Amino acid sequence: MTPVQKTLRLVLGDQLNEKHSWFQQVDKNITYVMMEIRQETDYVNHHIQKVLAFFAAMRAFAERLRDMGHRIIYLKLDDPGNHQRLDANIRTVLDQHNIGSFEYLLPDEYRLDSQFKELAKTLPVPCHAADTEHFLTVREDLAQWFSGKKRYLMESFYRWMRKRYGILVEAGKPVGGQWNFDKKNRETYRGQVPLPEPLLFNNDVRDLYQMIQRNTVKTIGNVIADKLIWPVNRDQSLALLRHFVAEALPVFGTYQDAMTASSWQLFHCRLSFSLNTKMLSPMEVIAAVLQAWENHPDKIGIQQIEGFIRQILGWREYMRGIYWTLMPDLSVTNFFDHRAPLPGFFWTGNTRMNCLKHAIGQSLDHAYAHHIQRLMVTGNFALLAGIDPDAVDDWYLGIYIDAVEWVEMPNTRAMSQFADGGRVATKPYVSTARYIHAMSDYCDTCIYDWGKRHGKSACPFNSLYWHFFHRNRRRLRKIPRIGMMFRTWDRMEKREQSQILQQAETHQNRLDRL
Ligand code: FAD
Ligand code: SF4
């Protein structure tokens, strides 16, 4: 009798989907392998909480697979036999265990996808890739949907997804009479409703922390190592989902764009780490909010539900499609030819600009900032100040708990920095202090005056904003939605213009001291 061939299956740190068909049956001829490697800790400078959360979640997942009866090889970062690279470790495990075939789940990053394609060409055994069974679209869906079009409008993709999955759709029409309640998602938060007590976990990761220190992995940000607040397994992820639905969903949409110095998470769900590691599936998150809405239509309005579902069914899947459509070119785009380095305060939070101090400070403390803080505070500032998109990309990829390139890069490079020249965003997401003042309470206690354009106390956003349009006029003049900006600029007195430009240049020469 010919012996049954043994198979090795690789599970990456962002593939912790215990509902995947791979794990539904135990087979003694299948061995799973997971590995903590320097290849992944070192490709960018990560937040310490991000490294800890990924490793803790991977270890918990390996335990879970073992409990389910699966065979698993888990390589810790400091195991003597760990070669610290995916390909070298896979070759060694195949060899040591006399394994006849290799299988992996499709990675979500271009970098890893290329590495696996290369590996497959040279492995001595047959190699097969399987779907992660996580996303609601396949990589190519978006490109096909937008085939032949110049711009990839999220709204049309989102409507297509609503119809495709029958979510908030009845007889082909949107429930509530509108596809999008975005206009009802723009309230400022001034304490109208109490903030929910955040659900923070007390995961003790001291052993992991010490291992990371011993191995001198370079990280950024702060942590209390016996109280890692992030969910590191499916049960904790489900608890966070339930907590969000009960405590924050009823007003999620209303305050979706609001910012306040009194809370670092407001009414956001903080589920992006659980989703991006695939501990939760997007569809179960959507199902949970729809169920809550069905149970409590009196408490939860359509604008809250639609606002939330748009993020998961729309933005998240759309960004993934953009990534696979525009890679690898997206990673080197720099439409404005911006070259300035990131100011040092992005690594310390040490700036007098109150909005940046809060957005960066909480990112360093919690590896988290919500969407509008990322887009309209840090991203807005980086674009106006002319920071090199490579540096901006690296910062976002390192600092956030949920930062995985497939979602980080299209959000940062395309959406926030307009580095792709506008294939994704219809116009650059920039604003003066007026927007930040309207959407937050940051300006109330800031040393700078949000209403002034120049002078010692003037908010830097204001002069940098006009300087941005002035210096990029040639590049932007054809974009229809920003003609009004140039008309406003042209109507300003010459003296005012020159004071604004001078002020902006002074700032640009000393960004570190703002
Ligand atoms: P909520 O605000 O409660 O939203 C619910 C969920 O919707 C999120 O968990 C997320 O899965 C999804 N979602 C919302 N907006 C987006 C979006 N624009 N793109 C994709 N999914 C979205 N998100 C990441 O997951 N990883 C990143 O690395 C990342 N980098 C970003 C960089 C920039 C410059 C910007 C502007 C946004 C970035 N985002 C990223 C999107 C968004 O900011 C985060 O998904 C969100 O802040 C996560 O917090 P939350 O779970 O509390 O989300
Ligand atoms: Fe930010 Fe300017 Fe407002 Fe200060 S005044 S918080 S720098 S927008």
pLDDT, tens digit, 9 for 90 and up, residues 145-195: 877 777 788 999 999 999 999 999 999 999 999 999 877 777 899 999 999
Are 414 and 291 part of one and the same domain?
A: no
Question: Which ligand has its closest atom nearest to the C-alpha of 245?
Answer: 1
Which percentage of the chain shows pLDDT scores above 90? Answer: 87
Are 92 and 207 part of one and the same domain?
A: no
Contact between 409 and 330 (Cβ < 8 Å): yes
- Per DSSP, helices labelled H in 172-316 are 206-214, 234-247, 249-252, 272-276, 282-295, 302-309
Residue 17 has what pLDDT?
97
Residue 141 has what pLDDT?
82
Are 118 and 186 part of one and the same domain?
A: no
At residue 392, does pLDDT exceed 90?
Answer: yes
Ligand 2 centre from 463 Cα, in Å?
12
CATH of the domain at 306: 1.25.40.80
Residue appearing with tokens 């979706």: 256
- Interval 60-85 mean pLDDT: 97
Residue 449 has what pLDDT?
97
Question: Which ligand has its closest atom nearest to the C-alpha of 434?
Answer: 2
359 within domain boundaries: yes
Range of the domain at 68: 7-130
Contact between 321 and 143 (Cβ < 8 Å): yes
In 3-state terms, the chain is what percent helix, strand and coil (to 5)?
50, 5, 40
Are 267 and 375 part of one and the same domain?
A: no
Burial of 210 (0-12, 13-18, 19+ CB in 10 A): exposed
Which amino acid, residue 150?
K
Give the pLDDT band of residue 3 (cuts 50, 70, 90).
Answer: low
Q: Is the CB of 373 under 6 A from ligand 2?
A: no
Q: 218-240 burial by CB neighbour count: b if 16+ within 10 A, else e?
A: ebbbebebeebbbbbbbebbbeb
Among residues 111, 130, 149, which one ends one of the domains? 130
How many domains are contained in the chain? 3
Residue 86 has what pLDDT?
96
The sign one gets for the Cα dihedral 184, 188, 194, 196 is positive
pLDDT, tens digit, 9 for 90 and up, residues 18-35: 999 999 999 999 999 999
Average per-residue pLDDT for the chain: 94
Ligand 2 centre from 259 Cα, in Å?
12
Pocket, ligand 1, Cβ cutoff 6 A? 268-272, 275-276, 311-312, 315-316, 319, 370-371, 374-375, 379, 396, 400, 402-403, 407-408, 411-412, 415-416
* Global confidence as pTM: 0.96
Contact between 242 and 249 (Cβ < 8 Å): no
Q: Is the CB of 355 under 6 A from ligand 2?
A: yes
CATH of the domain at 491: 1.10.579.10
Which amino acid, residue 188?
T
Are 316 and 367 part of one and the same domain?
A: no
Alpha-carbon 487 to chain mean position: 35
Closest C-alpha to ligand 2, atom 3: 443
330 within domain boundaries: no
Asked whether the bond before 341 is cis by omega within 30 degrees of 0, the reply is no
Residue 72 has what pLDDT?
97
Task: Give the range among 285-289, 387-391, 470-474, 482-486 with minimum mean pLDDT.
Answer: 482-486
Are 306 and 274 part of one and the same domain?
A: yes
Q: Pairing mode, if any, of strands 169-170 and 173-174?
A: antiparallel
328 within domain boundaries: no
pLDDT, tens digit, 9 for 90 and up, residues 100-123: 999 999 999 999 999 999 999 999
Among residues 79, 111, 130, which one ends one of the domains? 130
Contact between 341 and 421 (Cβ < 8 Å): no
454 within domain boundaries: yes
Contact between 221 and 230 (Cβ < 8 Å): no
pLDDT, tens digit, 9 for 90 and up, residues 418-474: 999 988 888 999 999 999 999 999 999 999 999 999 999 999 999 999 999 999 999
Give the pLDDT band of residue 383 (cuts 50, 70, 90).
Answer: very high
Are 79 and 98 part of one and the same domain?
A: yes
> What whole-number distance in Å separates Cα of residue 410 and Cα of residue 415?
6
Are 484 and 389 part of one and the same domain?
A: yes
Ligand 1 centre from 472 Cα, in Å?
28
pLDDT, tens digit, 9 for 90 and up, residues 337-347: 999 999 999 99
